[in-house]
Amino acid sequence: MPGQEHLAVSDRVSEAEWDEFVRSHPEGTVDHLWRWREVFGGVFGHDSSYLVARRDDNVVGVLPLVQFRSRLFGRSLVSVPFLNYGGILAADATAGAALLRSAHELAQGFGASHVELRHIGRQFPEVPAREHKLKLTRPLPQTTDVLWDTVDRKVRNQVRKAQKDGLTAEQGNAELLDDFYCVFSRNMRDLGTPVYPKRLFVQTSRLFADDLFVYTVRIGKLPVAAAIAIRFGNVMIVPWASSLREYRHHCPNMLLYWTMLEDAVRRKAARFDFGRSTRGAGTHHFKLQWGAEETPLHWEYLLLTRTTAPDHGPYNPTFAAAIAAWQRLPLWFANAVGPTIVRNIP
């Protein structure tokens, strides 16, 4: 009808349009950005469908969806896998509902058992949801002196211990990826988790360029803790971090996180995002001691052929035997086989 708004969903959208909407939306995250599409396809071999809702040619919603054809878990659509956040960003409920319907139609055509939407807040109360993950962040002061004063005294003592034990921290970029992966891959094996391929981090470093930072902590020349942080607006987020358990008594992880927080303040970030953690897990408690504030995440599901939401996490007792077996593998073998397996686990 003349004068009536027209709302349409399609996959016809440019990277510039997409990212402009993501950056302007109050719940937009670095994980919603268009460039991850290249990672999902180029590194993991997954096709993506990036849906956009338009009202009278104006973008009013986006939904990145990655198609999983997993030998382990069947077919599904995930928004988004391998990262912390995802799901629908919409200007209003009508646009959100339109994107949800389109996701359901796409899943039906793909033969998916479910659609997983990694939302921060609850968007669709009518669909099943899991709240097993927490977002942990803390506001940052304007100076590193104030930051130090607001950190718990026990944490400060552990940072000092690492420094007194001779540990050193370094911040760089792609030149530190070898050291990062040395720590990360070994830690993943020790946790019983298949490791991501190194090219994930190489590709991510290339795509984010000056907004990606790599941190290492060393004992002498040996890297014993490492992390990657990405700047998104005024937020510094840490998607990947690891330390070697046999050096835990030297507190390298404490020096690592202090170095990242200090660097974030110097770069004028307003908030530090520690990434997600499973409720009650060791990483949850670790992040809380830094003054992190927790926000429950709401992973919402469209169930097509399933009757319950999936649980592919390492805390699922179904995987206990496999985790124990993986921890006993030689590191070279785990690093060779892990990337082939992990691409099937969102």
**What is 253-304 written as a DSSP string?**
HHHHHHHHHHHHHHTT-SEEEEEEEETTSHHHHHHHTTTPEEEE-EEEEEES
* Averaged pLDDT of the chain: 93
pLDDT of residue 190: 92
Instruction: Say how far apart CA 51 and CA 290 lie, in whole Å.
Output: 38
pLDDT of residue 55: 95
Residues 300/119, Cβ–Cβ less than 8 Å = yes
Topology (CATH level 3) of domain 135-296? Aminopeptidase (3.40.630)
pLDDT tens figures, 216-251? 999 999 999 999 999 999 999 999 999 999 999 999
pLDDT of residue 313: 63
pLDDT of residue 2: 42
Q: Categorize the per-residue pLDDT at 300 as very low, low, confident or very high, splitting at 50, 70 and 90.
A: very high
Order of all β-strands in the sheet with 212-219: 167-172, 212-219, 222-232, 235-243, 271-278, 133-139, 293-296
Domains 7-131+298-310 and 135-296 in one fold: yes
Mean pLDDT of 114-132: 96
Check whether 96 has a pLDDT greater than 50.
yes
Mean pLDDT of 264-276: 97
Kind of pairing, strands 114-119 and 74-79?
A: parallel
Instruction: Say how far apart CA 278 and CA 295 lie, in whole Å.
Output: 12
Q: Would you say the pTM of this structure is higher than 0.85? A: yes
Mean pLDDT of 82-87: 96
**CB atoms < 10 A from the CB of 4, how many?**
7
Residue type, position 205, single letter: S
Instruction: Say how far apart CA 231 and CA 143 lie, in whole Å.
Output: 18
pLDDT of residue 337: 87
Cα-based torsion angle of the residue sequence 231, 233, 236, 237 in order, rounded to the nearest 10 degrees: -80
pLDDT of residue 226: 98
Q: Categorize the per-residue pLDDT at 314 as very low, low, confident or very high, splitting at 50, 70 and 90.
A: low
Q: Categorize the per-residue pLDDT at 101 as very low, low, confident or very high, splitting at 50, 70 and 90.
A: very high
Supply 111's token pair: 């033969």
Considering only residues 74 and 147, tell me which one the structure prediction assigns the higher pLDDT.
Answer: 147
Check whether 184 has a pLDDT greater than 50.
yes
- Residue labelled with tokens 């899991």: 130
Q: What is the CATH number of domain 7-131+298-310?
A: 3.40.630.30
Beta strands per DSSP E along 165-270? 167-172, 212-219, 222-232, 235-243
- Please name which of 198, 243, 193 lies closest in space to residue 223, comparing C-alpha atoms: 243
| Domain map (residue ranges) of the chain | 7-131+298-310, 135-296
Residue type, position 58, single letter: N
Phi, psi of 60 (to 5 degrees): -125, 10
- Please name which of 107, 100, 103 lies closest in space to residue 306, comparing C-alpha atoms: 107
pLDDT above 70 as % of the chain: 96
Q: Categorize the per-residue pLDDT at 185 as very low, low, confident or very high, splitting at 50, 70 and 90.
A: very high
For 143, the 3-state DSSP assignment is coil
